[in-house]
């Protein structure tokens, strides 16, 4: 799974959680995404640094070569919602273009 897919999946899960009273943080854990913990920490840091999510703690340690991350009360931000919307539109455009290409011989 590529990093953009992981980001999309986490943001999509957080978007769905907006209507819930309680959110199970394990649904966006490294284990649930089936990725190594260091990669998960880096992805959480990227999303936090780019204001796609809030409610996380990210820190650096001397004994580790990657940032550490912990979920406190994760939530998607407006920028995260915009990211999901833009990627959904791009997927639709790409699928439409693929359909056109397949239906017109010689393209």
Split into its structural domains, the chain has a count of 1
SS3 label, residue 66 = coil
Q: Helices marked H in 1-107 — which ranges?
A: 3-16, 30-33, 37-49, 78-103
Query: Are 53 and 77 in contact, with CB atoms under 8 Å apart?
Result: yes
Reference 47, options 89, 12, 10; nearest CA is 10
Q: What is the pLDDT of residues 2-42, one digit of tens each?
A: 999 999 999 999 999 999 999 999 999 999 999 999 999 99
State both tokens at 45. 């840091």
Q: Which pTM was predicted?
A: 0.82
pLDDT at 98 over 70: no
φ/ψ of residue 51, rounded to 5: 60, 35
User: Which residue is associated with the tokens 């939530």?
Assistant: 75
pLDDT digits (tens, 9 = 90+) for 55-84: 999 999 999 999 999 999 999 999 999 999
Q: Is 90 exceeded by the pLDDT of residue 107? A: no
Give the CATH number of the domain where residue 71 resides: 1.10.10.10
What pLDDT does 88 receive? Answer: 79
Task: Residue 73: give the domain boundaries.
Answer: 3-103
Whole-number pLDDT of residue 14: 97
Can you tell me the distance from the alpha carbon of 60 to that of 4, in angstroms, rounded to the nearest whole number? 23
């Amino acid at each position: 799974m590529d990093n953009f897919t992981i980001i999309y999946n986490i943001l999509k899960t957080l978007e769905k959680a907006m209507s819930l009273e309680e959110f199970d943080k394990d649904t966006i854990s490294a284990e649930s995404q089936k990725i190594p913990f260091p990669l998960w920490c880096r992805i959480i840091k990227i999303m936090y640094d780019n204001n796609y999510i809030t409610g996380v703690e990210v820190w650096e340690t001397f004994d580790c070569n990657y940032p550490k991350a912990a979920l406190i009360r994760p939530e998607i931000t407006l920028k995260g919602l915009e990211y999901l919307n833009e990627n959904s539109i791009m997927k639709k455009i790409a699928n439409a273009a693929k359909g056109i290409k397949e239906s017109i011989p010689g393209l």
